[in-house]
A and B are shown apart, each in its own frame.
Chain A
Amino acid sequence: MGDEYPTLFRSERMSLVQLIVPTEVAHDTIAELGELGNVQFKDLNPDVNAFQRSFVGEIRRIDEMARRVRFFASQIEKEKELVPIRPLYDSAPLVTVGPRAAQTIDELDVKLAEHEARLTQMNESYKLLSERLRELVEARHVLRETAQFFNQAAVRETEVRNSLDDSSAPLLQHDDREQQYSSGELQFDLEFVAGTIDRARLSTFERVLWRVLRGNLYMNYIDIQEPFVDPATGAETRKNVFIIFAHGDILLGKIRKVAESMGATIYPIDVNADKRADSMREVTGRLEDLQIVLYNTGANRRTELMTIGESLASWQDVVGKEKLIYETLNLLNYDVRRKTLIAEGWCPTRDIPQIQLALRHATEESGTNVPPILHELRTNRTPPTFHRTNKFTEGFQTIMDAYGVATYEEVNPGLFAVITFPFLFAVMFGDIGHGFIILIAAALMILFERKLGKADLGEIIGTFFFGRYIILLMGVFSIYTGFLYNDIFSKSLHLFHSGWDFPGNETTGIANGHTYPLGIDPAWHGAENGLLFTNSYKMKMSIVLGVIHMTFAVCLQVPNHIRFKRFADIYTNFIPQMIFLQSIFGYLVVCIIYKWTVDWSKASTQPPSLLNMLIGMVLSPGSVNPEEQLYPGQSTVQVILLLMAAVCVPWLLITKPYLQWQEMKKIQGQGYIGLDAEDVPRHTDDTTLEGEEEGNGRAIVEADGEEHEQHDFSEVVVHQVIHTIEFCLGCVSHTASYLRLWALSLAHAQLSEVLWDMTLANVLGIPGIIGIVALVLGGAIWLVLTIAILCVMEGLSAFLHALRLHWVEANSKHYEAGGYQFAPLSFARLNEKQ
Chain B
Amino acid sequence: MEALLFNVSGGFLEGIVRGYKAGLLTQNQYNNLTQCETIEDLRTQLSATDYGNFLANEPLPISTSTISDKATQLLVDQFNYLRSNAVEPLSKFLEYMTYAYMIDNVILIITGTLHGRNTNELLQRCHPLGIFDTMPALCVATNVEELYHTVLVETPLAPYFRDSVSAADLDDLNIEIIRNTLYKAYLEDFDAFCQSLGGPTADVMHRILAFEADRRALNITINSFGTQLSKEQRAKLFPTIGRLFPEGNNALARADDIEQVRQACDAVSEYRAFFDSSGSQQRANGGANGTTGSESTADLLGDLDGELGGAADLEDRFFLHEVHLNKLAFLQQFQHAVFYSYIKLKEQEIRSVTWIAECIAQNARDRIHDFIPTF
* A residues in contact (CB < 8 Å) with B: 49-52, 56, 60, 63-64, 67, 70-71, 201, 204, 207-208, 211-212, 254, 257-258, 260-263
Contacts and interface: CB of A to CB of B under 8 A. Distances in A.
A261 B44 contact: no
Interface in B126-151: 133-134, 136-140, 146, 149-151
A208 B45 contact: no
A212 B119 contact: no
A51 B136 contact: no
Contacts of A63: 56
Q: Which of A70, A254, A261 counts the most B-chain CB atoms under 10 A from its CB?
A: A261
Contact of B150 (A56, A67, A211, A263): A211
B56 A208 contact: no
Interface in B43-98: 44-45, 48, 56-57, 59-60
Contacts of A71: 57
A208 to B, nearest CB: 4
Interface stretch (B33-41, B179-187, B190-198, B280-288): B33-41
B119 A254 contact: no
B137 A208 contact: yes
B291 interface: no
Contact of B136 (A50, A70, A211, A263): A263
26 contacts: A49-B32, A49-B45, A50-B44, A50-B48, A51-B37, A51-B44, A60-B44, A64-B60, A67-B56, A71-B57, A204-B133, A204-B134, A207-B154, A208-B137, A208-B150, A211-B150, A212-B137, A254-B140, A257-B139, A257-B140, A258-B137, A261-B136, A261-B137, A261-B140, A262-B137, A263-B136
A51 B137 contact: no
Contact of A49 (B35, B133, B146): B35
- A-B CB proximity, top 3 nearest: A261-B136, A208-B137, A51-B41
B139 A208 contact: no
A201 B138 CA distance: 15
Contacts of B168: none
A481 B45 CA distance: 59
Contact of B119 (A49, A50, A260): A260
Contact of B151 (A64, A208, A257): A208
Contacts of A204: 133-134
A157 B136 CA distance: 36
A64 B154 CA distance: 48
B153 interface: yes
Given A50-B45, A208-B151, A262-B136, 8 more contacts: A50-B44, A51-B36, A51-B44, A67-B57, A67-B59, A204-B133, A212-B137, A261-B123
Nearest to A52: B35
Main SS at interface, chain B: helix
Contacts of B48: 50
Nearest to B119: A261
Contact of B57 (A52, A70, A258, A261): A70
Given A258-B140, A261-B137, A211 B153 contact: yes
Contacts of B59: 67
Contacts of A52: 35
Nearest to B149: A211
A799 B87 CA distance: 42
Contacts of B150: 208, 211-212
Q: Which of B137, B149, B153 counts the most A-chain CB atoms under 10 A from its CB?
A: B137
B229 to A, nearest CB: 31
A261 to B, nearest CB: 4
A151 to B, nearest CB: 32
Contacts of B139: 257, 261
B68 to A, nearest CB: 20
Nearest to B60: A64
A51 B360 CA distance: 15
A260 B118 CA distance: 11
A260 B35 CA distance: 46
Nearest to A200: B133
Given A70-B57, A257-B140, A56 B44 contact: yes
A106 to B, nearest CB: 17
A207 B134 contact: yes
A559 B154 CA distance: 80
Q: Which of B57, B59, B150 counts the most A-chain CB atoms under 10 A from its CB?
A: B150
A260 B140 CA distance: 10
Contacts of B151: 208, 211
Nearest to B35: A49
A116 B38 CA distance: 24
Nearest to B136: A261
A257 B137 CA distance: 8
Nearest to A253: B140
Contacts of B45: 49-51
Contacts of B56: 63, 67
B130 to A, nearest CB: 16
Contacts of A257: 139-140
A212 B36 CA distance: 52
A800 B72 CA distance: 46
A204 B133 CA distance: 7
A211 B148 CA distance: 10
B70 to A, nearest CB: 15
Nearest to A67: B57
A705 B153 CA distance: 66
Contacts of A211: 149-151, 153
Contacts of B137: 208, 212, 258, 261-262
Contacts of B32: 49
A212 B140 contact: yes
A71 B120 CA distance: 28
Nearest to A66: B56
A153 to B, nearest CB: 28
Contacts of A201: 133
A261 B137 CA distance: 6
Contacts of A49: 32, 35, 45
Contacts of A50: 44-45, 48
B136 A60 contact: no
Contacts of B154: 207
Contacts of B136: 258, 261-263
A201 B57 CA distance: 31
Contacts of A262: 136-137
Nearest to B47: A50
A820 to B, nearest CB: 22
A62 to B, nearest CB: 12
Nearest to A210: B150
A254 B140 CA distance: 6
Nearest to B146: A212
Nearest to A256: B140
Q: Which of B36, B44, B57 counts the most A-chain CB atoms under 10 A from its CB?
A: B44
Interface string B103-135: 000000000000000011001000000000110
A260 B137 CA distance: 9
Nearest to A57: B40
Contacts of B140: 212, 254, 257-258, 261
Contacts of A260: 119
A51 B42 CA distance: 9
B25 to A, nearest CB: 15
Contacts of B37: 51
B165 to A, nearest CB: 15
A287 to B, nearest CB: 26
Nearest to B142: A254
B291 to A, nearest CB: 28
Nearest to B151: A208
A96 B172 CA distance: 64
Nearest to B109: A261
Contacts of B133: 201, 204
Nearest to B133: A204
Nearest to A49: B32
A201 to B, nearest CB: 8
B110 to A, nearest CB: 13
A418 B35 CA distance: 54
B33 to A, nearest CB: 10
Contacts of B134: 204, 207-208
